[in-house]
C-alpha cells in the first residue's frame, strides 16, 4: 500500500467513525460561497480539525468543515473552505481533501473559486465555466504514485468533463444567468500577479487566474472523479485596470455575486445528480 493511500485510509476511518453518509456529488466552495452550505438540508457536519491528519485552512472566509446533506434530492458533501499551496502546505496536503471525497463515494466534483479576470471581455461579477486549465503550481502527482487511486501517467484531455460542462451550460441558459467560458490558470500566490505576469498568462491563453482549483482537478482526474468547475470573476487582474488589488475587494465582489452564484450552483447540482 502506498504511503499516500495509507494516510487517506486513516482520514477515512476517522470520518467513518463520526459520520455514516455516502455522497453522490461533492462541492468545493470558494470565496463568497461559504454560506451556501448553510442553506441546504444538513444531515451532519465535521470540522477539518476533527479528522486526524487533515490539513486546516488558515484563510479568512474559509470555515474549514465538511457539510453533508441534500440539495434537492441529491446527496452532497460540501467543503466550506479549502487549503492552498501558498499557506505553506505540501501539494499532497492541498489535494488530500479531494482524494478523501473520492473515498467517501462521491462520483462528481464541482469546484468553485474566485478568480481574477484576464480576458478583457470579462467583468467583475461574471461567472466563467472552466473549459480547461494551465497549472503553473507543482503537480500534485509528483513523487510516489498512489496506485490505489490511479495510474502513474494519467490522461488529462478531458479534465473538466464535457458532459458535465454541457449540463452547467444549459442550466445557466435556462436560469437566464450569463455564463462566460474559458481557461483558468493557477499560480502559486499568495501575492497578486504583476502586470508583466498577467501579460504572460494572457499570451499563454488564460482567461482567468487564481491560486487554487487546477491542482485539485488534476488529483480528481487521477482518482477517476468526474470534475466540473466554475469561477466567479471577482476582480480584473493586475494591469487589466490601474486599480490596486486587495483581498477585501475580491471578497466584496464575490459576496455581491453570491446570490446568483448560489442559484446556479444549486440547480447545477440537482441536474448533475440526476445523471448518476
Residues marked active site are found at: 31, 62, 84, 86-87, 114, 211-212, 235, 247
What would you report as the CA-atom Rg of the chain, rounded to the nearest whole angstrom?
17
Contact 148, 2 (CB under 8 A): yes
Place of cell 452564484: 261
List beta partners, residue 159: none
Neighbours of 22 (CB within 10 A): 11
Cα–Cα distance measured from residue 80 to residue 216, given in angstroms and rounded to the nearest whole number: 15
Taking CA atoms, 143 is separated from 7, 138, 146, 148, in Å, by 15, 11, 9, 15
Amino acid at each position: 500500500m502506498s504511503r499516500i493511500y495509507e494516510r487517506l485510509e486513516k482520514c477515512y476511518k476517522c470520518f467513518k467513525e463520526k459520520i455514516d453518509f455516502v455522497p453522490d456529488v461533492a462541492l468545493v466552495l470558494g470565496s463568497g460561497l461559504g454560506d451556501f452550505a448553510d442553506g441546504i438540508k444538513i444531515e451532519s457536519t465535521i470540522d477539518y480539525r476533527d479528522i486526524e491528519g487533515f490539513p486546516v485552512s488558515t484563510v479568512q472566509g474559509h470555515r474549514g468543515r465538511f457539510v453533508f446533506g441534500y440539495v434537492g434530492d441529491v446527496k452532497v458533501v460540501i467543503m466550506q473552505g479549502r487549503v492552498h499551496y501558498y499557506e505553506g502546505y505540501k501539494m499532497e496536503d492541498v489535494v488530500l481533501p479531494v482524494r478523501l471525497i473520492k473515498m467517501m463515494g462521491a462520483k462528481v466534483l464541482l469546484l468553485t473559486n474566485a478568480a481574477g479576470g484576464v480576458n478583457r471581455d470579462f467583468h467583475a461579477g461574471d461567472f466563467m465555466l472552466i473549459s480547461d486549465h494551465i497549472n503553473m503550481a507543482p503537480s500534485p502527482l509528483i513523487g510516489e504514485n498512489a496506485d490505489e487511486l490511479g495510474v502513474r501517467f494519467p490522461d488529462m484531455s478531458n479534465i473538466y468533463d464535457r458532459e458535465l460542462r454541457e449540463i452547467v451550460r444549459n442550466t445557466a441558459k435556462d436560469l437566464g444567468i450569463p455564463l462566460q467560458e474559458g481557461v483558468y490558470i493557477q499560480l502559486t500566490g499568495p501575492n497578486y500577479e504583476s502586470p508583466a505576469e498577467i501579460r504572460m498568462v494572457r499570451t499563454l491563453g488564460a482567461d482567468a487566474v487564481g491560486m487554487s482549483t487546477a491542482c485539485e482537478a488534476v488529483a480528481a482526474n487521477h482518482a477517476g472523479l468526474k470534475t466540473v468547475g466554475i469561477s466567479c470573476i471577482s476582480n480584473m487582474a493586475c494591469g487589466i485596470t490601474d486599480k490596486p488589488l486587495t483581498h477585501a475587494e475580491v471578497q466584496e465582489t464575490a459576496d455581491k455575486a453570491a446570490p446568483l452564484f448560489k442559484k446556479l450552483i444549486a440547480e447545477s447540482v440537482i441536474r448533475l445528480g440526476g445523471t448518476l
